[in-house]
């Protein structure tokens, strides 16, 4: 098992009493990678319309995550 592999993540979660914190850090890391991937595209096309559409799509994604949390409470 290599460090950083999904197996290591699942092993850390299984052994951790702070699962929510660990999952939050992992989710934040994935969101950072996804948004960082979008930023160069926004810099290449600085038109207001393109930037606004990207910001709207990001907001819709965040809203979709919030809706899932409301609909499927745990």
Q: What is the pLDDT of residue 1?
A: 46
Q: 21 falls in which pLDDT band (50, 70, 90)?
A: confident
Q: What is the pLDDT of residue 13?
A: 66
0.85 exceeded by pTM:
no
- Angstrom distances, CA of residue 49 to CA of 40, 43, 46, 56, 73: 16, 13, 9, 10, 36
User: How does pLDDT run across 33-54, given as a tens digit for each residue?
Assistant: 877 776 776 667 678 887 788 8
Q: What is the pLDDT of residue 39?
A: 72
């Amino acid at each position: 098992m290599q460090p950083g592999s999904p197996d290591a993540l699942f092993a850390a979660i299984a052994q951790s009493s702070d699962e929510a914190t660990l999952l939050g850090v992992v989710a934040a890391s994935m969101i950072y990678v996804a948004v960082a991937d979008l930023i160069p595209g926004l810099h290449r096309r600085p038109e207001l319309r393109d930037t606004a559409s990207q910001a709207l799509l990001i907001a819709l994604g965040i809203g979709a995550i919030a809706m899932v949390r409301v609909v499927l409470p745990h």
